[in-house]
Amino acid sequence: MEIPKKLTVSASPHLHCGENTRTLMLDVLLALAPAAVMSVILFGWRCLLLMAISVAACVGFEYGARRVLGRPNSLGDLSAVVTGLLLAFNLPANLPWWMPVIGAFVAIVIVKQFFGGIGQNFVNPALVGRIVLLVSFPDAMAPAEWPLPLPYIAGVDTVTAASPLAALANGTAPSLQEMFTTATAYDPLSMLLGLRPGSLGETCAAALLLGGLYLCIRRTISPVIPLVFMGTTAAVTWACGQNPLFHLLAGGLMLGAIFMATDYTTCPINFKGKILYAFGCGLLTALIRLFGNMPEGVSVAIVLMNILVPHIERITTPKPFGYVKPKKEKGAAQ
């Protein structure tokens, strides 16, 4: 009994769109590319070095940790490359070169591989890497004086200024009206192009929006989380009498809302859950920015909401069609 070769017997699914973790991660990398290019244009070649070190360290730790723990090699899914790039995006351009290596160790080994690798981490690895670096080296990660973009045009090698959110805390930030009418360092166009001090990948809002648009069109991410996240932050800051546009364009809100909060592993599955999660992220970000000790709160807000995701999932589990809630007491129901 010979089975003809054309009659392959297999279990469903029989059609596959060809999408897998690697193609998804490639899409994310492609979406991050504009911001990466802009960071090199804005802050110089050192960004390239930091990104290369961060990515190489993440890939190396991913390989080494899987090897030591006796698990199959997972470099092919490219998730370590994405983590490395996102980590680098969260660092200031003048950071000592060895600090990303520590951040990569925390992100990949402690947050990701200790908990079982891709899909098992309970918080965003790149963000925890950033937070550990921020808490450990506050003078390097959150300096009072950030490098200004385009130093080679200004002709001076190191020109520094306070970050926009620090300016906001000092009360030197413009109001919504002043942003459009008066000559200020923070006019909407230069904020959109990223001509302001900040971390590598967070400054150029236009590039981040472009990447986010690409991910939404490719349906890699749903636009719900970024929109609700940014909307909530803008609404809360506006309600508290601050400039909502400035809050949207300053700090790492765009980067966090588009690329960090939408990580599959650490965000809820349902539509309702996504809204709740993104609302929490936005609210916490606004509250930390308005009343907190630190000028910026996006990373902490996302990590806190990451931890709450299992509980959000529990309260937003959809009811099956025709589901009847079981009655608690038999006597009372009659």
Partner 1 sequence: MKRAYGKELTKGFLRENPVLRLCLGTCPTLAITTSVLAGVGMGLAATVVLICSNVVISLLRKVIPQKVRIPAYITIIAGFVTIVQMIVQAYLPAINDALGIYLPLIVVNCIILGRAEAFASKNPVLLSAVDGVGMGLGFTMALAVMGAIREILGAGTFLGIQLLDRPMLIFIMAPGGFFVFGMLIAAANAVAKRLGRKPAQKAGCAGCPAAGACNGCEQAGGDAV
Name the site residues for partner 1 (rule: CB under 8 A).
96, 102, 110, 132, 135-138, 140
Q: How far is the CB of 44 from partner 1 (least distance, A)?
A: 23
Calpha distance 175→243 (Å, rounded):
5
Q: How far is the CB of 57 from partner 1 (least distance, A)?
A: 16
10 Å CB burial of residue 158 (0-12, 13-18, 19+) is exposed
* Token pair listed for 188: 């909407």
Q: Where does the chain show beta strands of DSSP type E? A: 146-147, 160-161
Q: How far is the CB of 67 from partner 1 (least distance, A)?
A: 19
Give the residue with the Cβ less far from partner 1, 37 or 102.
102
How many CB atoms lie under 10 A from the CB of residue 57? 24
Q: How far is the CB of 45 from partner 1 (least distance, A)?
A: 23
CA of residue 176 relative to chain centroid, distance:
26
Give the residue with the Cβ less far from partner 1, 63 or 137.
137
Q: Minimal CA–CA distance to 139: which of 100, 183, 95?
A: 95
Give the residue with the Cβ less far from partner 1, 26 or 110.
110
Calpha distance 270→313 (Å, rounded):
8
* Token pair listed for 84: 């490395």
Give the residue with the Cβ less far from partner 1, 138 or 318.
138
Give the residue with the Cβ less far from partner 1, 20 or 136.
136
Q: How far is the CB of 172 from partner 1 (least distance, A)?
A: 29
Residues, the chain, total? 334
